[in-house]
Amino acid sequence: SKSRSTFGEKLNRLFANFRSVDEDFFDDLEDTLIESDVGFDMAVNLTDQLREEVKLQNAKNREDVQNVIIQKMIDIYDQAGNDESTKINMAENGPTVILFVGVNGVGKTTTIGKMADKYKKDGKKVLLAAADTFRAGAIEQLDEWAKRDQVDIVKKPEKSDPSAVVYEAVHKAKEEDYDVLFVDTAGRLQNKVNLMNELSKMKKVLTREIPEAPHEVLLVLDATTGQNALNQAKLFKETTDVTGIILTKLDGTAKGGIVLAIRNELHLPVKYVGLGEKVSDLSKFDANDYVYGLFKGLIK
Amino acid sequence: MAFEGLTERLQKAMRNLRGKGKVSESDLRKTMREIRLALLEADVNFSVVRKFVKTVQERAKGADVLEGLNPAQQIVKIVDEELTKTMGEEATPLNKSEKIPTVIMMAGLQGAGKTTTAGKLSLKLKNEKDARPLLIAADIYRPAAIDQLEQVGKEIDVPVFQKGTDVDPIEIVKQGMQVAKENHNDYVLIDTAGRLQIDEKLMDELKNIKELTHPDEILLVVDAMTGQNAVNTAEGFNDALDITGVVLTKLDGDTRGGAALSIREVTQKPIKFIGQGEKMDALDVFHPDRMASRILGMGDILSLIEKT
Ligand SMILES: Nc1nc2c(ncn2[C@@H]2O[C@H](COP(=O)(O)OP(=O)(O)OP(=O)(O)O)[C@@H](O)[C@H]2O)c(=O)[nH]1
Ligand SMILES: Nc1nc2c(ncn2[C@@H]2O[C@H](COP(=O)(O)OP(=O)(O)OP(=O)(O)O)[C@@H](O)[C@H]2O)c(=O)[nH]1
Ligand SMILES: [Mg+2]
Ligand SMILES: [Mg+2]
């Protein structure tokens, strides 16, 4: 397909920087993967598979080796993602409810601001729920995004019960025929049992009002996070049935390699990536771009 | 905890090692491999790991095994000592200016915890030093950043100087410093916007604030969950600002916090405080030895060694 050849072309440029493909090459490959936060086991595993494949196919010259590796990376990547949908699951009728979860400071509120703008410009009637009633200035932050995006918002005073905000918002969304409801929640570390329970309670409130809701539970992950992101994905998935990942801050120097391990282990698809702080800095996840980004460090 | 700590790893390795005169090549190899893996799983940067393992290896090579220890325990002891040494041996206090005000500037990536830490630190200074701090709101970019700082200030009863979002941050800081002078505030804490270390324009802004205020402390605030990239961030901010210290936040989570070692290694600057929660009192002094144990998950091993 078209995207594959683009990926291949990019990797070709990468491999052109190597005189020969020997053990040093595979050592570099492994280091690069570790440096991208894919995790030690995953890095060794991937490198072994690539090395095996090169042997198996009896690739001798550099060009053969490149092709083998390119193909293998794509296979490995595709395998982990069978039956995945990177689309946002929309309600057949009535409001679509999208719940945002994640640890502190990863970019939940900002991503809602960006996504709400997209849907609004698509002609949808959008509502935001300010269910982070805990962090100082959180309600004002979402409110500012609502103003910028020119969409409506449901908010209550600071320290109100977040479930009450959720209830009021989902109710309003139903009554007043909104197309999409974005629910912003307070950041919480996955090892805080009470806060995680509070999150499942909010989710139950949504389901009680609209049986299919939430239609998406998006876990926001910061690309600079290391191995702990796997813990985050596991525990948030357990409490809230996460349906997809948003990988933020990819405009920085971090590669977000942990997403590969998460995909392998938990089969969660990345749906969007955050590439900055502006409203337009949100892109659909492109696997080719992402995998290429992981190898960027090899290019001097 | 999802990751096997060094304790579990070494318990396996140690079963096959018996106490004998010297640490042998093969003891060393096996143990070093486990240490390398434990460090990588804890998010210590791979080049920092490489260097660290080499240092330990040199020291352990042919070292006499102390009475009551087996070779692996002996190596762990060396690792612990080296790690604590790299981490800075003991807690480093906050810098203080000869004449008031002491100026503290916060810097770091987006969402690291700068604003929260500025509040926590103000409260700490108030409680422990009877200080009268002033907070300056120099983040004009993030939506509602000023509201956030004002709410924080209100909660801990510390004044916040702000000029809205239409005034240049340098100008805000200049005016804020003037107000601090007039009111005899003994500490000034400057909250700055989050930025990438590769964002030249915004890094210049920080340099200008530094030039204007000559801070006694430039604290780099880093999320303890940061992975391999911690070295890039630390290097970038340190090169631009010559930071004076580091605050590691969100250590109330279950991360091992290997970033601490990476940052310390590349900047050689002390980690001064750790954030252990969202509440205003959740800021603690950094203890290098405790962090060393946390990174390797070797608290148990050390007590094991003490017992034998
Ligand atoms: N560079 C960059 N910054 C981002 C991106 N997404 C969000 N940010 C910034 O990261 C910081 C935190 O973003 P928020 O949206 O407040 O994060 P949050 O998850 O809602 O945080 P809490 O509600 O406090 O848990 C802000 O300064 C955002 O501007 C991104 O893709 N790239
Ligand atoms: N659990 C926990 N959360 C923390 C800690 N420090 C800060 N936070 C949370 O992390 C999130 C981001 O904190 P902020 O203080 O807004 O971070 P910032 O660096 O000022 O962010 P920007 O101004 O957007 O760059 C908030 O949800 C804080 O409550 C900590 O030590 N533990
Ligand atoms: Mg938020
Ligand atoms: Mg801030």
Q: Out of B110, B111, B226, whose CB is closest to A226? A: B226
pLDDT classification of A297: cutoffs 50, 70, 90: low
Specify the pLDDT at position B68: 72
Residue of B nearest to A187 (CA): B278
Residue of B nearest to A232 (CA): B254
Nearest alpha-carbon partner for B8 in B296, B308, B305:
B296
Chain A: closest CA distance from residue B46 (Å) = 7
Angle at the Cα of A263 (from A261 to A266), degrees rounded to 5?
A: 100
Give the residue, out of A110, A141, A185, with the most ligand 1 atoms within 8 A of its beta carbon, to mutate for a pocket test.
A110
Residue nearest to atom 14 of ligand 1 (CA): A107
pLDDT, mean over chain A: 88
Check pocket membership of B94 for ligand 2, CB cut-off 6 A. no
pLDDT classification of A300: cutoffs 50, 70, 90: very low
Calculate how far, in angstroms, residue A136's C-alpha sits from the geometric centre of ligand 3: 10
Atom of ligand 2 nearest to the CA of A138: 27
Among A3-7, A60-64, B108-112, B174-178, which stretch is predicted with the lowest mean pLDDT? A3-7
Query: Each residue's pLDDT tens digit in chain B (308 positions)?
Result: 344 566 676 666 666 655 556 777 877 888 888 889 889 999 999 999 999 999 998 888 877 777 777 777 788 788 888 888 888 877 889 999 999 999 999 999 999 999 999 999 999 999 999 999 999 999 999 999 999 999 999 999 999 999 999 999 999 999 999 999 999 999 999 999 999 999 999 999 999 999 999 999 999 999 999 999 999 999 999 999 999 999 999 999 999 999 999 999 999 999 999 999 999 999 999 998 888 888 887 665 555 565 54
Better pLDDT: A166 or B293: A166
Question: Which pair of tokens denotes residue A32?
Answer: 């690069």
Give residue-wise pLDDT tens across range A230-259: 999 999 999 999 999 999 999 999 999 999
Specify the pLDDT at position A208: 97
Residues in chain B closer than 8 A to A37 (CB atoms): 43, 227-229
Q: Among all ligands shown, which has an atom nearest to the Cα of A218? A: 1
* Interchain CB distance below 8 Å, A34 and B228: yes
Check pocket membership of A215 for ligand 1, CB cut-off 6 A. no
**Which of A27, A45, A104, A248 to mutate to probe the B interface, most B CBs <10 Å?**
A104
Specify the pLDDT at position B11: 65
Specify the pLDDT at position B87: 87
Residues in chain A closer than 8 A to B45 (CB atoms): 35
* Cβ–Cβ < 8 Å for B107, B219: yes
pLDDT of A153 higher than 60: yes
Binding-face residues of B in 241-280 toward A, CB within 8 A: 250, 252-256, 258-259, 278
Q: How far is CA A269 from the centre of its chain?
A: 7
Atom of ligand 1 nearest to the CA of A282: 31
Among A54-63, A265-274, B3-12, B130-139, which stretch is predicted with the lowest mean pLDDT? B3-12
Check pocket membership of B78 for ligand 2, CB cut-off 6 A. no
Residues in chain A closer than 8 A to B40 (CB atoms): 34, 40
Calculate how far, in angstroms, residue B193's C-alpha sits from the geometric centre of ligand 4: 6
Q: Out of A137, A251, A253, whose CB is closest to B144? A: A137
Better pLDDT: A3 or A262: A262
* Interchain CB distance below 8 Å, B196 and A34: no
Q: Out of B46, B149, B227, whose CB is closest to A224? A: B227
* Interchain CB distance below 8 Å, B258 and A226: yes
Angle at the Cα of B249 (from A260 to B187), degrees rounded to 5?
A: 150
Strands in B187-192's sheet, in edge-to-edge order, are B160-161, B133-138, B187-192, B102-107, B217-223, B245-249, B271-275, B283-285
Pairing between β-strand A282-284 and β-strand A270-274 as defined by DSSP bridges: antiparallel
Chain B: closest CA distance from residue A93 (Å) = 33
Give the residue, out of B106, B109, B110, B197, with the most ligand 1 atoms within 8 A of its beta carbon, to mutate for a pocket test.
B110
Question: Which pair of tokens denotes residue A29?
Answer: 């490959």
Q: Is B141 on the interface with A (CB under 8 A)?
A: yes
- The whole-angstrom separation of Cα B174 and Cα B178 is 6
Q: Is B40 on the interface with A (CB under 8 A)?
A: yes
Q: Out of A138, A148, A253, whose CB is closest to B229? A: A253
pTM above 0.90, yes or no: yes
Calculate how far, in angstroms, residue B141's C-alpha sits from the geometric centre of ligand 3: 15
Kindly report the backbone phi and psi dihedral angles of residue A205, in degrees, each rounded to the nearest multiple of 5, phi listed first: -60, -40
**Which of B160, B278, B295 to mutate to probe the A interface, most A CBs <10 Å?**
B278
Residue of B nearest to A249 (CA): B110
Give residue-wise pLDDT tens across range A81-123: 766 777 899 999 999 999 999 999 999 999 999 999 999 999 9
Contacts by A232-236 with C-beta closer than 8 Å and gap 24+? A232/A102, A232/A103, A232/A190, A233/A262, A233/A266, A233/A268, A234/A190, A234/A266, A234/B2, A235/A190, A235/A191, A235/A196, A236/A101, A236/A102, A236/A190, A236/A196
Question: Which pair of tokens denotes residue A245?
Answer: 């990942």
**Which of A42, A228, A247 to mutate to probe the B interface, most B CBs <10 Å?**
A228
Gyration radius of chain A's alpha carbons:
21
Q: What is the mean pLDDT of residues A201-227?
A: 97
Check pocket membership of B111 for ligand 2, CB cut-off 6 A. yes
Residues in chain A closer than 8 A to B256 (CB atoms): 227-228
* Interchain CB distance below 8 Å, A134 and B148: no
* Interchain CB distance below 8 Å, B143 and A136: no
Among A14-23, A140-149, A250-259, which stretch is predicted with the lowest mean pLDDT? A14-23
Check pocket membership of A106 for ligand 1, CB cut-off 6 A. yes
- The whole-angstrom separation of Cα A298 and Cα B53 is 24
* Interchain CB distance below 8 Å, B144 and A228: no
Calculate how far, in angstroms, residue A99's C-alpha sits from the geometric centre of ligand 4: 24
Calculate how far, in angstroms, residue A1's C-alpha sits from the geometric centre of ligand 3: 39
Specify the pLDDT at position A189: 98
